[in-house]
Amino acid sequence: MKESTLAKITASVAAAKVMAQKALASSPNPEWTESEMRSIDEWIALQDVKLDRPEAIRRLVELGLKAKAK
């Protein structure tokens, strides 16, 4: 009885790992190069308010989308 329960748990964990890998593969989070991160950090340093990287990236995307719309 213990072996079948363990097998079920193992199968569930394996299925969850596959699902997580698929979800992460389609994630919109890019891998940033050192140069890109440096550019983002430089942009952050020029701002009047203290921003973390995620917020800075959101603002940069917003600026880019607004500029593209013009």
Q: Which domain holds residue 52?
A: 2-69
* pLDDT for residue 32: 84
| Residue 32 neighbours by CB under 8 Å, 6+ apart | 40
* pLDDT for residue 29: 64
* pLDDT tens per residue, range 5-59: 878 778 787 777 877 777 666 656 678 889 999 999 999 999 999 999 999 999 9
Instruction: Classify the C-alpha dihedral 62-65-69-70 as positive or negative.
Output: positive
Q: How far apart are CA 2 and CA 7, in angstroms?
A: 9
Helix (H) or strand (E) holding 5: helix 2-25
**In the chain, how many domains are there?**
1
| Residue 59 neighbours by CB under 8 Å, 6+ apart | 51
Question: Residue 18 corresponds to which tokens in the numbers above?
Answer: 């596959």
Q: Could you tell me the pLDDT band of residue 69, with boundaries at 50, 70 and 90?
A: confident
